[in-house]
Amino acid sequence: SAHGAVAGALGGLGSSIIGWMTVAFVMDGEVNLATLGKDYPMLAGNLLALCASAIICVVVSCIQPQDFDWEVLRSESEKLLLEADPNARLPDDDSDDSQAGMDRVRGWTFRTAIGLTVLLIIIWPLLTLPEDPFSKSYFGWWVAVAFIWAHVAAFIAVIFPIWEVRHDLAVIMGVKYGFGNPFGSSSPDTSSGKGSLAGDSFASPTLDRSPSSKAFV
């Protein structure tokens, strides 16, 4: 609920600051820049920020639920749709753009998010326990895994989205600078106004400008 979200954000912030300073004071007898910068006070503050906010949000939402009817959002949104727009409604097939396709993606997203949460918050910190302090070989393994993780994450978050839309980007740049469609008929047809990229911001002068057609880039 709205009250739960606000309470969780504010409560998590307050809990993390209090826990951070409390652990620093308990361990060193004083709170200053040096003691606040140590590992255990910072760990306590981070854990409280992650866990307390979620707990507070769930508890407050259960106490003051909103019980929102999502059909209201659907019905109100449909009033704003343009019936002539082919993308105004979801297709009835089993494609990725259909309701069934989106439900599959939603399930995959939930499973991945839960798995990553368990991996990063529980399993990964637990892997620090077998050797305390780290041996040289164990630390090398730890750094190697973190290095590989960072590069894979960077590829998935930065490079892969660009690769997925490479054809559309090529069409946009080709039309903008007068090179035409570099992929021929295998990608959106810029000369006939049929394709997946709508709008005439980068339209070529040779595109069909008749009122019954759309300019595509």
48-101 pLDDT, tens digit each: 998 999 999 999 999 988 887 777 777 777 666 666 566 666 667 777 777 788
193 Rama sector, left if φ>0, alpha if ψ -120 to 50, beta otherwise: left
Residue carrying the six token digits 């989205």: 161
**Exposure class string for 102-124: b at 16+ Cβ within 10 A, else e:** eeeeeeeeeeeeeeeeeeeeeee
pLDDT category at 179 given cuts 50, 70, 90 is low
195: pLDDT strictly greater than 90: no
Structural contact between residues 27 and 35, judged by C-beta atoms closer than 8 angstroms? yes
156: pLDDT strictly greater than 90: no
d(CA 99, CA 95): 8
The answer to whether the peptide bond before residue 91 is cis (omega within 30 degrees of 0) is no
191: pLDDT strictly greater than 60: no
Average pLDDT of the chain? 78
Any idea what the Cα angle at residue 98 is, between residues 97 and 104, rounded to 5°? 90
202: pLDDT strictly greater than 50: no
